[in-house]
């Protein structure tokens, strides 16, 4: 943790981008806490894109087209979903200022959401920040079984086809470990971050974002 600095109005979208490019990210203690502090973990969670593991059970869910997976159609709603209480998480680190910052980054093209819909109901998804060849995953949520997992698989396919080299998960959970996420030391992370920032990548690669394209790309995993 880099310490607590600045009051609510001190952080701008531009400063937030510089922070990510420097390897740090913001958090708040709770939704009703207006202050934000910076985090720079000694051990950083990453999901190596060349080692992504698609479980057999999730492959079946994707093949069934259980969800309509969309990108960037309801960014603010995804952030709000991630801020909801969930099993094992009574409080959220997403306060109002953090929400507004990410919505502003989305408007500027630096933040994206991957969304799972059932009919016209948003039932899960994730969001994060994109800078060149680095994607900084922020949070995910599910209101339906496997929704966030499907969103993660679709995100990884999009990043791989788009030329990204780094998917930062910040921390490791058992949920992420199932897909191949690991922890690396801070110095190693900063080295990989520097390499990723030198890559010209796109979040909208041709041919990405269908169940068939995801299953085809990860046909070697099970």
- Give per-residue pLDDT as tens, 127-153: 999 999 999 999 999 999 999 999 999
DSSP symbol at 192: H
Residue 134: φ, ψ to 5°: -115, 135
The pLDDT of residue 61: 97
Contact criterion met (CB below 8 Å) for 91 and 85: yes
Contact criterion met (CB below 8 Å) for 162 and 201: yes
Contact criterion met (CB below 8 Å) for 58 and 180: no
Give the bridge partners for 25, in sequence order: 39
Q: How far is CA 191 from the centre of its chain?
A: 20
The pLDDT of residue 33: 59
Question: Closest Cα partner for 56 from 179, 207, 147?
Answer: 179
CA separation for the pair 79, 87 (Å, rounded)? 17
| Mean per-residue pLDDT of the chain | 89
pLDDT band of 8, cuts 50, 70, 90: very low
CA separation for the pair 170, 44 (Å, rounded)? 5
CA separation for the pair 39, 23 (Å, rounded)? 9
DSSP string of 69-114, one letter each residue:
EEESSSHHHHHHHHTS-BTTBSS-S--HHHHHHHHHHHHTTSEEEE
Calculate the alpha carbon distances from 164 to 31, 132, 156, 159 in Å.
32, 8, 9, 5
CA separation for the pair 202, 163 (Å, rounded)? 7
Share of the chain above pLDDT 70, in %: 87
DSSP symbol at 205: -
The pLDDT of residue 190: 97
CA separation for the pair 114, 165 (Å, rounded)? 18
More confident residue, 26 or 103: 103
Domains of the chain from N-terminus onward: 43-217 (3.40.630.70)
The model's pTM: 0.90
CA separation for the pair 53, 17 (Å, rounded)? 29
pLDDT beyond 80 at 69:
yes
pLDDT band of 2, cuts 50, 70, 90: very low
């Amino acid at each position: 943790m880099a310490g607590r600095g600045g009051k609510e109005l001190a952080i701008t979208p531009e400063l937030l981008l510089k922070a990510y490019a420097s390897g740090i990210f913001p958090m708040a203690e709770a939704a009703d806490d207006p202050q934000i502090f910076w985090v720079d973990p000694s051990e950083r969670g990453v999901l190596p894109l060349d080692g992504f593991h698609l479980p057999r059970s999730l492959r079946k869910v994707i093949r069934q087209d259980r969800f309509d997976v969309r990108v960037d159609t309801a960014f603010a709603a995804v952030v709000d979903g991630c801020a909801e209480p969930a099993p094992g998480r009574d409080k959220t680190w997403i306060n109002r200022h953090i929400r507004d910052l990410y919505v502003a980054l989305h408007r500027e093209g630096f933040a994206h959401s991957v969304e799972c819909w059932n009919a016209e109901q948003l039932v899960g998804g994730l969001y994060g920040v994109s800078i060149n060849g680095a994607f900084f995953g922020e949070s995910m949520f599910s209101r339906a079984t496997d929704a966030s997992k499907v969103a993660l698989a679709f995100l990884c396919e999009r990043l791989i086809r788009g030329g990204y080299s780094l998917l930062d998960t910040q921390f490791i959970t058992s949920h992420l470990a199932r897909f191949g996420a690991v922890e690396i030391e801070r110095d190693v992370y900063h080295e990989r971050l520097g390499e990723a920032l030198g890559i010209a990548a796109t979040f909208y690669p041709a041919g990405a974002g269908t169940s068939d394209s995801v299953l085809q790309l990860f046909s070697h995993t099970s």
